[in-house]
Amino acid sequence: MKRLLSTLILAAASATIAAAQPSPQISNVLNRTTTSLNGDWNYIVDVQEEGYYDYRMNPTEWGFFLNAKPQKPEDLIEYDFDKAATMKIPSDWNTKDDRLFFYEGTVWFKKSFQYHKTAAKRQFLYFGAANYESIVYLNGKILGRHEGGFTPFNFEVTDLLKDGENFVIVKIDNKRKKENVPTQIFDWWNYGGITRDVMIVETEDTYIENYKFTLDKADYNRIYFDLNLDKATQGIAVELQIPELKIKQTLTTDALGKASVTLKTKKLQLWSPENPKLYRVTLKLGENVLEDEIGFRSVETKGKKILLNGKEIFLCGISMHEEKFNGGGRANSLDDAKALLKEVKELGCNFVRLAHYPHNEYTVREAERQGILVWSEIPVYWTIDWTNPKTLDNAKSQLADMIRRDQNRANVIIWSIANETPHGDDRERFLSALATHARSLDSTRLISMAMEVTSASNFHNRLQDNMNKYVDIISFNQYIGWYRDVNDAAKMTWEIPYDKPVIISEFGGGAKYGHHGAKNQRWTEEFQENLYKENTAMLDKIDGLSGTTPWILKDFRSPRRVLDGIQDYYNRKGLLSDKGEKKKAWYVLKAWYDGKKSK
Ligand code: GCB
C-alpha cells in the first residue's frame, strides 16, 4: 500500500519534471569558452525505475539524483554511484557493456567535477545529445528534462554551480514509445546513453545566442547578417569582422536584442564542393570574441534543376547512419566523422544524406571543410503518432534545434522533414505544419522529405503525394530489385508529375561481404552489383533527376535484421561492410558518379 502511494506521488513528481525545459540553445559551442565533462562517468542500470523510488521518503524529494551517502553506520542506502562501474562519455551503452547490448530502459549517470567560477560569468550545462529522454540534476537539484536523442540542449546552471566540487546526475531512458519521435519501430539500433559531448559553456552576462549569414541569391557580393542576444537588451554593440574580406562593422542591438546589417563585398569566393572556401569571422561583444568559419553560397531550384551558386548541380550522394566501423556503436567524435567522410569522398560523392536524424556537429562541420553537401533530417520516420499534438510539438522542437545548430553551415542545403511516411490526411496535416515551421525558421534552404512511391501498374511508377506542394525537391525511396520485382528495373517507367527537381533518396539491396554466387542469388555481392547496374541505368531515364543518395554507405546495426549467418543484426545494404570492405556494387556506383562528373 505504502508502495502504491509512493508510486502515485511519483507520478505527480514526473509531471513536475515534464514542465522544466532546457534554456534556449546556445549556438557554436565548439568555439565558446567551455570545460569538457567528457570522460569517466559512473552509471547504475535501473531496470524498474528504482531510482525515483524510496518507500521511506517522499519521492519528489528523494531519489538517486541526491547521490546520498550513509551518515551513520545504521543508515540504509541501496545505491552508491562511487562504487558503480564507469563508462567513457560520450558513448552509447550498448557497445560499452555487454549486459546492455539490447537494453532499452533507464540508466543513471553521475560525474563529479571541480569548477572554478569566474565572477560575473554565466554557466550552462550542455549536452550534444543523449538518447532518448534525459532528466538532468546538478548538485542534487533538478535542472529539467529533454526529449529527443539527436539534438543539443543546455540548462543554465549559474546559480547552482559551485566554486569547487560539483556533481551532475542524468537519468537517461531510451524506451521506445508510440508518441516519441522516432516512434516504436525503426530500422536502426536504439543506442542509449549520453552519446555526444557534455560541457560547461561559460558566457558573459549578455551574450550572442545565435546569428546567421545569408548570401543574396541575386547578388553574390551582398551578404545579410543577423544576430540575436540571449535577452532583449537594446543598445549593445557587437563588432563583426571578416578580415580576409576587409569587413569591420559595428552593429547595435534593438529593443528585441537583435541586430542586422547588409554587407557589401568584392570578389567573394563562393563555397562549393570544388572550392570549399571558408572565411574566418569574429563577433566581438565587450571583451568576448566569438569565432566561426563561414562559407557563402546560394542554393535554389529552377524548374527541375537544383542550382548551386547559380549553376546546375547533380548531387552524387550516399546515405549514411551515424555509426562507427567495426561494430563500435554510435559515432561521436571528429575522428569518427573523418573516418566516415573519407569513405564518402572515395566513392566520388559531393553529397551525403545524414539519415535519419541530425548527426553530430563534428560531422556537419567536417563535411563542410571537405566540400560535401548535406541533407539533414529529423527522425519523423514511418508511422509517427500523427494525431498527437505532443508528438507534433516534439518534432517541431527537434526540427528547430537542428536548424539553429547548423544554420550557418554552407554545405547544408536540404532540411528533410520526414522519411517514408504512409499517406493520409493526419500525416499531411502534421507534415505540412513541419514544412511551414522549417520555412519560418530558415527560408534560405530547400525543404524535402523522403516519400514513398505508389505505382500505377507493375512496371509503371507514378509518384503521387499531396506533400508535393510543400517541398522544394521531390525525393523518394524505391527498392526495385529488392523489395519489389527482382531484377526488372530495365522495364520500369517513371512518371513524376511535378515541376520540381527529383532526388532518389534511397535505393539498394543487401549483400554480405565475401558471399558470392549468381546474380539472382539473394545476399551475394553479385546480386547487389547487378541491382546497382540495373537501377542506375533505370534512374538515368528519369526526367529531372538531380541526385541520388543510395542506401547505404556501410552495413549498420538494426534489431530488425535477424537472419542468422547473413544479417546477424546488421542491415546489409551497405556498399561497404561494417569493417569498411568494399562490396562489388561499390565499384558500380563509383563508376556511375565518375561518369556524371565528366559530363
Ligand atoms: C527504408 C528506410 C531505411 C531502411 C531501408 C531498408 O526505406 O528508409 O531506414 O533501413 O528502407 O533497408 O529497408
Contact at 8 Å (CB) between 525 and 513? yes
- Ligand 1 centroid to Cα of residue 305, in Å, is 26
**What is the CA(597)–ligand 1 centre distance, in A?**
27
**Ligand 1: which of 322, 571, 572, 575 to mutate, judged by most atoms within 8 Å of the beta carbon?**
571
The closest-lying atom of ligand 1 relative to the alpha carbon of residue 420 is: 8
Tens digit of pLDDT for each residue in 48-96?
Answer: 999 986 555 555 567 999 999 999 999 999 999 999 999 999 999 999 9
Least confident among 58-72, 154-168, 338-352, 404-418: 58-72
Pocket test for ligand 1, best of 477, 505, 528 (most atoms within 8 A of CB): 477
Ligand 1 closest atom vs CA 556: 10
pLDDT digits (tens, 9 = 90+) for 239-248: 999 999 999 9
Decide if pLDDT at 212 tops 90: yes
596 CA from centroid of ligand 1 (Å): 25
Q: Average pLDDT over the chain, rounded to whole?
A: 94
Provide the pLDDT for residue 591. Answer: 98
Distance 517 CA to ligand 1 centre (A): 24
Beta bridge partners of 23: 154
Task: Determine the distance separating the centroid of ligand 1 and the alpha carbon of 362, expressed in angstroms.
Answer: 25
Query: Would you say residue 228 has pLDDT above 60?
Result: yes
**Residue 525 contacts residue 511 (beta carbons within 8 Å):** yes
Using one digit for the tens of pLDDT, what is the confidence trace for 290-305? 999 999 999 999 999 9
Mutate to test the pocket of ligand 1, among 420, 504, 549, 551 (most ligand atoms within 8 A of CB): 551
Q: What is the pTM of this model?
A: 0.96
What's the gap in Å between 549 CA and the centre of ligand 1?
A: 12
Cα(7) to centroid(ligand 1), Å: 40
CA of 187 to the centre of ligand 1 (A): 6
pLDDT of 434 > 70? The answer is: yes
Altogether, the residues listed in the chain come to a count of 599
Q: How far is the CA of 509 from the centre of ligand 1 (A)?
A: 10
328/340 Cα distance (integer angstroms): 13
Determine the Cα–Cα distance for residues 464 and 450; give it in Å rounded to an integer: 13
Round to the nearest angstrom and report the end-to-end CA distance of the chain: 76
- Ligand 1 center–CA 345 separation, angstroms: 23
Residue that is written with C-alpha cell 546552471 in the block:
157
Average pLDDT over residues 416-433: 97
Q: Residues 227, 230, 235, 236: what is their CA dihedral angle, to the nearest 10 degrees?
A: -80
Q: Is the pLDDT of residue 410 over 70?
A: yes
In this prediction, residue 193 carries a pLDDT of 98
Q: What is the dihedral of CA 476, 482, 488, 493, to 10 degrees?
A: -10
Distance 381 CA to ligand 1 centre (A): 10
Minimum-distance ligand 1 atom for the alpha carbon of 477: 7
How open is the CA angle 535-537-538, to the nearest 5 degrees? 65
Q: How many Å apart are CA 411 and CA 276, to the nearest integer?
A: 9
At 453 the pLDDT is 84
Look up cell 571558408; give the residue: 278
Nearest 5°: CA angle at 286, between 280 and 292?
20
Supply the residue whose CA is at minimum distance from atom 10 of ligand 1: 187
In this prediction, residue 238 has a pLDDT band, given cuts at 50, 70 and 90, of: very high
5 pLDDT more than 70:
no
Q: Choose the residue to mutate in 183, 186, 187, 356 for probing ligand 1, maximizing ligand atoms within 8 Å of C-beta.
A: 187
**Mind listing the pLDDT tens digit for each residue in 366-388?**
999 999 999 999 999 999 999 99
Where is average pLDDT lowest: 14-28, 292-306, 465-479?
Answer: 14-28
- Write down the residue that cell numbers 552509447 correspond to: 92
pLDDT reading at 18 higher than 80: no
Q: Which residues line ligand 1 (CB under 6 A)?
A: 187, 356, 419-420, 477, 506, 551, 571, 573
Cell of 572: 546489409
Could you tell me if 357 and 401 are in contact, meaning their C-beta atoms sit under 8 angstroms apart? Answer: no
Q: Ligand 1 pocket test: which of 506, 557, 571 has the largest number of ligand atoms within 8 Å of its C-beta?
A: 506
Which atom of ligand 1 has the smallest separation from the CA of 482?
13
Cβ neighbourhood burial of 219 (10 Å; 0-12, 13-18, 19+): exposed
Q: Ligand 1: which atom is nearest the Cα of residue 571?
A: 12
Class of residue 33 by CB neighbours under 10 A (exposed 0-12, middle 13-18, buried 19+): middle
C-alpha to C-alpha distance for 471 and 449, rounded to whole angstroms: 7
User: Element (H or E) spanning 545, and its range?
Assistant: strand 545-548
pLDDT tier for residue 491 given thresholds of 50, 70 and 90: confident
Instruction: Look at 28-32, 106-110, 225-229, 540-544 and tell me which has the smallest mean pLDDT.
Output: 540-544
